[in-house]
Structure formats: C-alpha cells, structure tokens
Amino acid sequence: GDSVTQMEGPVTLSEEAFLTINCTYTATGYPSLFWYVQYPGEGLQLLLKATKADDKGSNKGFEATYRKETTSFHLEKGSVQVSDSAVYFCALRGNDYKLSFGAGTTVTVRA
C-alpha cells in the first residue's frame, strides 16, 4: 500500500539556518504530494503541494520538488525563523481520496 517515510526529529536549529526535512514515498501510479504544518495546539494546515512529477510547491519561503525518479519530496527553507517552530508532516494521496501521512518531524528554531 501507499506509505510515506520522513526523517525523524526532533530537529533544532538556530534562526537563519537552512532547514531540510527528507521525505520519501511508496505508491502506485502518480500520487499527489503534500507538506502540512502543525503549530502548537492547532490543527494541520496545508503548507504546499505538488501534483505531478517535477512540480515545485512553494509557500512562506518553503519549497519542495516532486522527484519521481527518487520518489522524494524533500522540504527546504533557506533561512528559518522562530515562528517556523512546528511539526511538519509529509503526505501523499494515491489513487483514491485518502491521505497517507508520515510520522511528523518536530522542528524547533532558537533565537
């Protein structure tokens, strides 16, 4: 079945550091890929998405490129802020309308 594997955390960074969170997937067909973010005490919010190979999703300075050849969708941000502290989830939607989520990566940014 469909599955998502993302790097384990927690990840602790200093402000203005570069952030990468690795995500790889297993799916049949051509899934859509997503990154969701969860701030403390809140529900999940869509951060960005890509629906076909080589698409780049971007939002709030975050980027991720859909790489079919490596079945990856790594999240990157060039200069993180304290406000980026959150839990980040990689997810995919396969051949139906259900999402499969990774385990989540907790990111803490220190001033």
Minimum separation from the CB atom of position 102 to another protein (A): 5
Q: Does 88 bind another protein (CB under 8 A)?
A: no
User: Look-up: residue for tokens 């990154």?
Assistant: 35
Q: Does 94 bind another protein (CB under 8 A)?
A: no
Taking the least distance from each CB to another protein, the nearer of 40 and 69 is 40
Q: Considering only residues 6-35, where is the footprint of another protein by CB under 8 A?
A: 32, 34
> CA–CA separation, 89 vs 5, rounded Å?
10
Tokens standing for residue 37: 């973010």
Residue of 7, 67, 76, 101 that binds another protein (CB under 8 A) = 101
Contacts of 77 (CB under 8 A, 6+ apart): 18, 19, 61, 62, 63, 84
Q: Does 53 bind another protein (CB under 8 A)?
A: no
Residue of 15, 16, 42, 54 that binds another protein (CB under 8 A) = 42
Minimum separation from the CB atom of position 1 to another protein (A): 9
Characterize 34-57 residue by residue with b for buried, 16 or more Cβ atoms within 10 angstroms of its Cβ, and e for exposed: bbbbbeeeeebeebbbbeeeeeeb
> CA–CA separation, 2 vs 40, rounded Å?
28
- Binding positions for another protein, rule: CB under 8 A: 4, 32, 34, 36, 42-46, 49, 51-52, 89, 93, 97-99, 101-104
